[in-house]
Amino acid sequence: MKTTYRRQLAMMVGIIALSFSILGTAFMLLSYRYIITEKREAMQRNAQDIADLATDYVSNVWGGDIRSNAFVGAIAVVAKASDSYVIVSDSAGGIIYATDGYKAYTYENATLPAAMLERLGAEGSFNGMSDLDGLYPERRYVSALPYHMELGPAQVTQGYVLVSADTSSISEMWRSTVTIFFFTAVAVLLIACVASSLTSAYQTRPLNEMAEAARKFAQGDFDVRLHGYENRTDEIGTLAEAFNSMAGAISQIETRRSEFIANVSHELKTPMTTISGFAEGILDGTIPPEKEKESLEIIVSETRRLSRLVRRMLDLSRLRALTENITAQTQFDLVEVISQVLISLEGKITGRNLDVDAQLPEEALMVWGDPDAVTQVCYNLVDNAAKFAAQGTAITVCITKKDGKAYTSIRNLGATIPPDELPLLFDRFHKADYSRSMDKEGVGLGLYIVKTLLGNLKENITVTSEDGVTEFTFTLTLA
Q: Where are the domains of the chain?
A: 4-172, 222-325, 328-477
Q: Is the pLDDT of residue 31 over 60?
A: yes
Q: What is the CATH number of domain 222-325?
A: 1.10.287.130
Q: Is the pLDDT of residue 327 over 60?
A: no
Q: Is the pLDDT of residue 77 over 70?
A: yes
Convert the pLDDT of each residue in 36-63 to its tens digit.
Answer: 777 778 888 888 888 888 887 777 754 5
For residues 38 and 122, the model is more confident at: 122
For residues 312 and 190, the model is more confident at: 190
Superfamily (CATH) of domain 4-172: PAS domain (3.30.450.20)
Q: Is the pLDDT of residue 406 over 50?
A: yes
- The reply to whether 222-325 shares the fold of 4-172 is no
In the chain, the percentage of residues whose pLDDT exceeds 70 is 85
Per-residue pLDDT, 79: 85
Per-residue pLDDT, 437: 43
Per-residue pLDDT, 360: 92
Backbone φ, ψ for residue 25 (5° rounding):
-60, -45
Q: Report d(CA 214, CA 466) in Å as an integer.
A: 42
Which range, 129-133, 138-142, 174-178, 389-393, has the best average confidence (pLDDT)? 389-393
Q: CB pairs under 8 A, 24+ apart, for 74-79?
A: 75/50, 75/99, 76/101, 76/102, 76/104, 77/101, 78/46, 78/49, 78/50, 78/53, 79/163
Which stretches of 57-166 are DSSP H helices? 69-82, 114-123
Give strand pairing partners of 400: 407
Question: Quick check: 57 and 214 in contact, CB under 8 A?
Answer: no
Q: Report d(CA 181, CA 178) in Å as an integer.
A: 5
Helix axes 235-284, 292-324, angle to 10 degrees: 160
Q: What is the CATH number of domain 328-477?
A: 3.30.565.10
Per-residue pLDDT, 463: 94
Q: Is the pLDDT of residue 436 over 50?
A: no
**What number of helices (H) and strands (E) belong to the chain?**
10, 13
479 class by beta-carbon count within 10 Å (0-12 exposed, 13-18 middle, 19+ buried): middle
User: Cα dist. 343→15, 337, 338, 350, 389 in Å?
Assistant: 76, 10, 9, 11, 18
Per-residue pLDDT, 358: 93
